[in-house]
Amino acid sequence: MNIHRQNTQSGLTLIELMIGLSLGLVMLGSVISVMVAGNTSYQNAQRFSNLQSEFGFISDSLMVDLRGATAVAVTGGNTVLTITTAAGPVVYRLDANNNLQRQLNADPVSLIAENINLFNLACLDETRAAVNCAAAVTVETTVELRDDSAGAEQLHRLIFATTLRNAILAKKFAAI
């Protein structure tokens, strides 16, 4: 009698198992790589958003005070700005801890920004030539922020000019 045995064994061979594990590891590595890239991109976006906010706050604060100025003076090696306004003198200065400060009259000093690497001011005339601040129609401000959040120190610089409205109006009406 010829008895045919049916093969009832089921499962994977060692080669099939190794191929499946290898494909799974490749897919897992790809997913991890995409997640790390997404996280890095998010952190960079947050860092640049914070920098943009700081630069915006610095420039807005200075511009509001400068546009209403009746006189400006730059001292302290071009790092101290004194603005004479209707509300009284406003002083911007960089302290020893690299903090940009603002003080109105004798009020307490308010912190404008931290980690300032450079704060430099220049008084300019109509042709953008450097002049004594009494003859200026524009104040050019250079601010450089130090950013350590990416692991290595990075410096980000912003240069902006603010027109002194009262100085321009005085020159315009003096010519009439």
Q: Is the pLDDT of residue 175 over 80?
A: no
- Domain of residue 45 covers 15-174
Q: Is the pLDDT of residue 169 over 70?
A: yes
Number of domains, the chain: 1
Give the pLDDT band (50/70/90) at residue 2.
low
Amino acid letter, residue 29? G
What are the E-state strand segments in the chain? 71-75, 80-85, 88-94, 100-104, 110-113, 116-124, 138-147, 154-163
∠ CA 43-96-154, nearest 5°, is 25
Residue 3 within a domain: no
Q: Is the pLDDT of residue 146 over 70?
A: yes
Q: Is 76 helix (H, G, I), strand (E, B) or coil?
A: coil
Query: Looking at residue 110, what is its pLDDT?
Result: 94
d(CA 63, CA 44): 28
Residue 4 within a domain: no
Residue 42 within a domain: yes
Query: Looking at residue 77, what is its pLDDT?
Result: 86
Give the pLDDT band (50/70/90) at residue 78.
confident
Residue 29 within a domain: yes
Query: Looking at residue 147, what is its pLDDT?
Result: 85
- pLDDT over 70, % of the chain: 90
The pTM of the whole model exceeds 0.85:
no
Give 26-66 pLDDT, tens digit per residue.
999 999 999 999 999 998 899 889 889 999 999 999 999 99
Residue 7 within a domain: no
Query: Looking at residue 21, what is its pLDDT?
Result: 95
Residue 149 within a domain: yes
Residue 8 within a domain: no
Residue 134 is inside which H or E element, if any?
Answer: none
Q: Determine the average pLDDT of the residues in 57-82.
A: 90
